[in-house]
A and B are shown apart, each in its own frame.
Chain A
Amino acid sequence: MRRMLTGLILLGTATVLLSAPPGTDRAAGPEPVPLNPPCGVQAFDKPNDAGQAITIQWQASPDEASGLVEGYEVFRAESPEAPESLWVRVGYVPYGFTSYEDQDVPRNGVDYYYLVRSKNQTQSAASGFSNPARSSEQWFNTMRINALVGSILFVIIVVYFISMAKRGQHLFVRRIAGLTAVEEAVGRATEMGRPILYVPGLSSITDVATIAALNILGQVAKKTAEYDTPLLVPNRDPVVFTVAQEIVKEAYSEIGRPDAYNHDSVFYLTDSQMGYASGVDGIMSREKPATNFFMGMFWAESLILAETGAATGAIQIAGTDAVHQLPFFITACDYTLIGEELYAASAYLSREPMLLGTLKGQDWSKAVIYLLLLLGVGLSFLSPGIREFILNLLTVG
């Protein structure tokens, strides 16, 4: 009986304690601990930018480790004494981050102060003010010095080889099978009385691969003009179309066959990627070109084009710098220009000494890069500090 009474009293006490409204003074309920603010707030101009940006850094609130902080609010004012209403909230970062970039600084050259507030659902705590910081625009991006030095070095090497070529020095260029086959491919089309199809990639004129493809088109057009072979150049980009038309027209004029130029041989198909692929596939199936050239930038349509071409029995020469499309072209085409060979094609086909000079310069620059690469790998084994230094040296900001 006594035990039963004691049990009932204990049960009743527990029920009362558990049902007590929040905020009432429970016998064992602890006071909520105030949140600690972040500290050491520092603000400084964002380096190497166009101005109107300030970077703010701070040390995390000690409460972050115990999971009490959900994030940090960043406030900006023109004076540390500004009333609360003049402090503008400029951003919020979740916990784990201790910096913020204020990209909307109203004016360059004016001092601004920042404070950071640690925050959770019920509480917040403001840090002290930062040092005054003013944004400014820079006229040179110091993070790109390495790119500048590299570019200057490359230009020097190329100019040296161009001057060698100008002096008439023989420059050896290794045989590129895909380019040697161009003559044979045009000859084959002439013998068979069938056209040549030239696809200048699917990218825009701003892509260097497209420019390289158009350079090769000039050389191919000269050969088709010479042999009087029909040429078909379907285009996807309107600007590339107009440039291609001009290139082919000029190539025919240069060979002395402006009359052989067919204005309709360079035409626009469509802007749609798969629409273009099906259009070119249709041309290959109907016209049965003896030779197909796929030069420039390609995406998923590369295999659709190359496989259809292979099915029609055409000789196919492809060239692209799109690494992911190379395996498709290598599989489905007779010859493939891999990466840099696409850029070398114009020099290789024209055999102009000046262009060959740049090709040689390119090769030597690659040799310099590989040498530096080996040196860097060797040195990075010495200590992690050196490794870090080399990585910083190679990072372009």
Chain B
Amino acid sequence: MKRQIPLMLVLVLGILFFVQFFVPSQLSMEIYQMALQWSIVIGAFAIVLAIGSLVNHHTLKIKRRKEHFWNSYVTLFALFAMAFLGIFGRIESLSFMSAWFRKLFLYVQAPMDSAMFAILAFYMASAAYRAFRARSKEAMLLLISGFIIMLGVVPFGAYLWGRIPDIAEWIMMVPNMAAKRGILFGVGLGMTATSLKIILGIERNWLGGGGK
């Protein structure tokens, strides 16, 4: 029963929303909108569980005095401080809390996010070094095409030879696009097949353990 109810729900709702895709009527749209709202409500419940997990995970780390456990103090302090300021900052007489919340977001979290994103540039350089080491014929091909494309998108390429931007565009629009589309065909069918397997109850791993 524990498995049959979810399987039945998936079958009925799967077929319902498959049909919904082909029915543009008002009722069909309302059902679709309602399902979207339900998913938001379910997500809200899941957030409670997720925060519980986060608190539990870090409390255990502190209790067990795991390596770098003091980081967990920072995490828990940040979590509760932001929640406290965010919730109580809504009260008019405590609006200074809301200002602090905004400051912490703008001057602490946002710069940290940006810094992390900026690190990507260095990782790209090291990854490019690895990818462009011409160890095989394929890597050689990648190196040459990468070099042409890089030259083609900067003015220096056109300065060297006027046809370089055209060749770079051809590489992007023909062989690159063909490969991308080939992958996307497979992805589209894979998505459909996975959905079908779940709707028909053939794939049950999502229920946990593959289930019999």
Q: Is B22 an interface residue (CB 8 A)?
A: yes
Nearest Cβ on chain B to A248's Cβ, whole angstroms: 8
Interface size on B, residues (CB 8 A): 64
The answer to whether A49 and B24 have CB atoms under 8 Å apart is: yes
The answer to whether B43 and A239 have CB atoms under 8 Å apart is: yes
Q: Is B4 an interface residue (CB 8 A)?
A: no
B130: nearest residue on chain A (CB-CB)?
A331
**A344, B60: Cα distance in complex, Å:** 37
Nearest Cβ on chain B to A263's Cβ, whole angstroms: 8
Nearest Cβ on chain A to B128's Cβ, whole angstroms: 8
Chain B residues with Cβ under 8 A from A327's Cβ?
Answer: 131
Chain B residues with Cβ under 8 A from A147's Cβ?
Answer: 21-22
Chain A residues with Cβ under 8 A from B209's Cβ?
Answer: 218, 222, 247, 250-251, 253-254
Nearest Cβ on chain B to A341's Cβ, whole angstroms: 8
Query: Given that A274-B116, A339-B184, A354-B202 are known contacts, is A303 also in contact with B123, CB under 8 Å in the complex?
Result: yes
Kindly specify which of B94-102, B152-160, B186-194 makes contact with the partner chain.
B186-194
From A140, A217, A268, A343, B23 is in contact (CB under 8 Å) with A140
Chain A contacts with B in 139-168, Cβ cutoff 8 A: 139-141, 144, 147-148, 151, 154-155, 158, 162
Query: Could you give, for residues 44-80 of chain A, a 1 whenever the CB lies within 8 Å of some chain B CB and a 0 otherwise?
Result: 0000111100000000000000000000000000000
The answer to whether B120 and A300 have CB atoms under 8 Å apart is: yes
**A215, B208: Cα distance in complex, Å:** 9
Q: Is B126 an interface residue (CB 8 A)?
A: yes
Q: Is A43 an interface residue (CB 8 A)?
A: no
The answer to whether B193 and A50 have CB atoms under 8 Å apart is: no
Q: Is B211 an interface residue (CB 8 A)?
A: yes
Main secondary structure, interface of A, reads: helix
The answer to whether B191 and A208 have CB atoms under 8 Å apart is: yes
**A55, B197: Cα distance in complex, Å:** 40
Kindly specify which of A33-41, A90-98, A184-192, A361-369 makes contact with the partner chain.
A361-369
Nearest Cβ on chain B to A128's Cβ, whole angstroms: 32
Chain B residues with Cβ under 8 A from A344's Cβ?
Answer: 190
Query: Could you give, for residues 123-136 of chain B, a 1 whenever the CB lies within 8 Å of some chain A CB and a 0 otherwise?
Result: 11011101100000
The answer to whether B24 and A48 have CB atoms under 8 Å apart is: yes
**A328, B128: Cα distance in complex, Å:** 9
Task: List 29 interface pairs A-B (beta carbons < 8 Å), by A numbering.
Answer: A137-B24, A138-B25, A139-B23, A139-B24, A162-B202, A212-B190, A212-B194, A218-B206, A239-B46, A241-B46, A242-B49, A243-B206, A245-B53, A247-B206, A250-B208, A254-B210, A264-B56, A274-B112, A278-B116, A323-B183, A323-B187, A326-B183, A331-B127, A343-B187, A343-B194, A354-B202, A362-B189, A369-B185, A370-B185
Beyond A204-B43, A275-B113: 16 further Cβ-contacts under 8 Å? A50-B28, A137-B26, A147-B22, A212-B194, A218-B208, A238-B47, A238-B50, A246-B208, A247-B208, A251-B210, A267-B53, A300-B120, A323-B184, A339-B184, A339-B187, A344-B190
Interface residues of B (CB under 8 A from A): 18, 21-26, 28-29, 39, 42-43, 46-47, 49-51, 53-54, 56-57, 60, 67-68, 71, 109, 112-113, 116-117, 119-120, 123-124, 126-128, 130-131, 180, 183-187, 189-198, 202-203, 205-211
Interface residues of A (CB under 8 A from B): 48-51, 137-141, 144, 147-148, 151, 154-155, 158, 162, 204, 206, 208-209, 211-212, 214-215, 217-219, 222, 235, 238-239, 241-243, 245-251, 253-254, 264, 266-270, 272-275, 277-278, 282, 286, 300, 303-304, 306-307, 321, 323, 326-328, 330-332, 338-340, 342-344, 346, 350, 352, 354-355, 358-359, 361-362, 365-366, 369-370
